[in-house]
């Protein structure tokens, strides 16, 4: 049995244990309840839990965007993924917002889709932890943990498979890319996910900026500064931690005012960013793909397990996804 098979077996065992302890579950009535009571009432989603999209589809969206021919009148491809770490699917209540990035995209004709993390849709037991590193790594590489190897936090990915940040620059499809975060587990810590990929970019002299900010305000300021540049990076990935922080400290729940506040703060940051993008002097000539998504949900003050609350996330985009 190789290491991956062992780890997979360990996850499955742990997941089953969690199900038996907490009763999270592989129970279709849970699905119906979550959908009916929480998600359906939001009236924002194009699909249902049964037809939820795999989060790796975000990778395809960005790849296809850069591969597609430029529309008439456009001279430049640009894309941004705005990440809300720890955003549950049922938090996407745009009607509660004064301003919001998702609200703006939807008002402008964008769409919202239910998606899942964990490698396989609920109610099947997840194959990778519903944790930060596996989730974002699946979004950035278009692969699940059986291929990218990051089944949990605190693991370093081999250089391959490359993330979009590096592959777009290496292939010449993007002149430059940028990764703005505040969680040190992405590429700062010794056991960070993209430590080797960052090193690879530095050795090759690739135009990929990896920047870790002190906090969400710092990430916001760095992203705002980036999109204000006339020659801003062609692909930008930025992750806000408001929701994850609120969830871990006071509970991942839409009944928790602090979690909802974290959502409103994330949405305001995204709104300001999208407004700044749309105010660019060259915006009319640019073909932008804008995506807002999350890496995992949460339950109680944790995530990582197989529950529907941890598994269901959202993808909001200004471009339609064929279902
Ligand atoms: Zn996370």
Whether residue 46 is contained in a domain is answered as: yes
DSSP secondary structure letter of residue 141: H
**Span from the CA of 203 to the centroid of ligand 1 (angstroms):** 29
**Span from the CA of 34 to the centroid of ligand 1 (angstroms):** 21
**Span from the CA of 279 to the centroid of ligand 1 (angstroms):** 30
Spatial separation of the C-alpha atoms in residues 90 and 73, rounded to whole Å: 38
The predicted structure's pLDDT at residue 34: 82
Spatial separation of the C-alpha atoms in residues 134 and 297, rounded to whole Å: 13
**Span from the CA of 72 to the centroid of ligand 1 (angstroms):** 38
Whether residue 322 is contained in a domain is answered as: no
Whether residue 64 is contained in a domain is answered as: yes
The predicted structure's pLDDT at residue 32: 77
**Span from the CA of 256 to the centroid of ligand 1 (angstroms):** 18
Tokens of 256: 């928790």
DSSP secondary structure letter of residue 173: S
**Span from the CA of 280 to the centroid of ligand 1 (angstroms):** 30
Range of the domain at 209: 3-317
Whether residue 179 is contained in a domain is answered as: yes
- The b-or-e profile of 299-319 (16+ CB within 10 A means b, else e) is beebbbbbbbbbbbbbbbbbb
Measuring CA to CA, how many Å separate 33 from each of 37, 178, 200? 6, 40, 46
Is the model's pTM score more than 0.75?
A: yes
- Are 103 and 92 contacting, i.e. CB atoms less than 8 angstroms apart? no
**Span from the CA of 323 to the centroid of ligand 1 (angstroms):** 26
**Span from the CA of 187 to the centroid of ligand 1 (angstroms):** 14
CATH of the domain at 116: 3.40.720.10
Q: How many domains are contained in the chain? A: 1
Tokens of 286: 């640019």
The predicted structure's pLDDT at residue 189: 98
**Span from the CA of 231 to the centroid of ligand 1 (angstroms):** 30
- What's the sign of the alpha-carbon dihedral 246, 251, 257, 260? positive
Which residues, in sequence order, are CB contacts of 101 under 8 Å at separation 6+? Answer: 82, 266, 267, 269, 270, 271, 273, 274, 292, 316
**Span from the CA of 90 to the centroid of ligand 1 (angstroms):** 16
**Span from the CA of 243 to the centroid of ligand 1 (angstroms):** 9
Nearest to 168 by CA among 203, 199, 197: 197
Whether residue 36 is contained in a domain is answered as: yes
**Span from the CA of 28 to the centroid of ligand 1 (angstroms):** 26
Tokens of 197: 């990929």
The predicted structure's pLDDT at residue 41: 87
Spatial separation of the C-alpha atoms in residues 260 and 257, rounded to whole Å: 5
**Span from the CA of 70 to the centroid of ligand 1 (angstroms):** 34
**Span from the CA of 18 to the centroid of ligand 1 (angstroms):** 19
User: pLDDT tens digits, the chain, 323 residues: what are they?
Assistant: 466 656 655 655 555 444 444 443 344 567 778 887 789 889 999 999 999 999 999 999 999 999 999 999 999 999 999 999 999 999 999 999 999 999 999 999 999 999 999 999 998 999 999 999 999 999 999 999 999 999 999 999 999 999 999 999 999 999 999 999 999 999 999 999 999 999 999 999 999 999 999 999 999 999 999 999 999 999 999 999 999 999 999 999 999 999 999 999 999 999 999 999 999 999 999 999 999 999 999 999 999 999 999 999 999 999 999 98
**Span from the CA of 79 to the centroid of ligand 1 (angstroms):** 21
**Span from the CA of 138 to the centroid of ligand 1 (angstroms):** 12
CB atoms inside a 10 Å sphere around CB 284: 10
**Span from the CA of 264 to the centroid of ligand 1 (angstroms):** 17
């Amino acid at each position: 049995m190789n290491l991956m098979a062992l780890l997979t077996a360990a996850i499955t065992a742990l997941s089953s244990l969690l199900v038996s302890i907490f009763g999270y579950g592989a129970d279709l009535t849970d699905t119906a309840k979550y959908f009916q009571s929480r998600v359906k009432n939001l009236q924002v989603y194009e699909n249902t839990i049964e037809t939820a999209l795999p989060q790796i589809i975000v990778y395809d969206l960005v790849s296809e965007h850069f591969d597609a021919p430029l529309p008439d009148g456009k001279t430049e491809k640009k894309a941004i993924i705005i990440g809300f770490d720890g955003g549950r699917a049922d938090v996407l209540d745009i009607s509660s917002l004064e301003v919001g990035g998702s609200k703006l995209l939807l008002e402008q004709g964008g769409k919202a889709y239910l998606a899942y993390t964990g490698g396989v849709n609920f109610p099947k037991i997840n194959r990778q932890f519903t944790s930060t590193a596996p989730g974002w790594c699946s979004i950035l590489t278009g692969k699940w943990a059986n291929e990218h190897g990051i089944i949990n936090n605190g693991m370093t990915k081999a250089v391959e498979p490359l993330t979009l940040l590096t592959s777009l620059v290496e292939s010449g499809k993007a002149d430059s890319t940028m990764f703005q975060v505040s969680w040190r587990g992405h590429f700062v810590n010794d056991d960070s996910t993209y430590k080797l990929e960052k090193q690879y970019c530095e050795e090759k002299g690739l135009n990929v900026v990896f920047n870790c900010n002190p906090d969400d305000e710092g990430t916001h300021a760095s992203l705002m500064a980036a999109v204000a540049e006339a020659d801003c990076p062609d692909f930008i990935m930025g992750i806000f931690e408001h929701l994850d922080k609120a969830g871990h400290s006071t509970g991942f729940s839409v009944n928790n005012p602090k979690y909802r506040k974290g959502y409103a703060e994330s949405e305001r940051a995204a709104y300001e960013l999208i407004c700044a993008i749309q105010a660019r002097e060259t915006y009319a000539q640019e073909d932008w793909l804008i995506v807002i998504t999350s890496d995992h949900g949460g339950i109680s003050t944790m995530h990582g397990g197989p529950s529907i609350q941890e598994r269901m996330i959202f993808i909001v985009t200004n471009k339609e996804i064929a279902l």
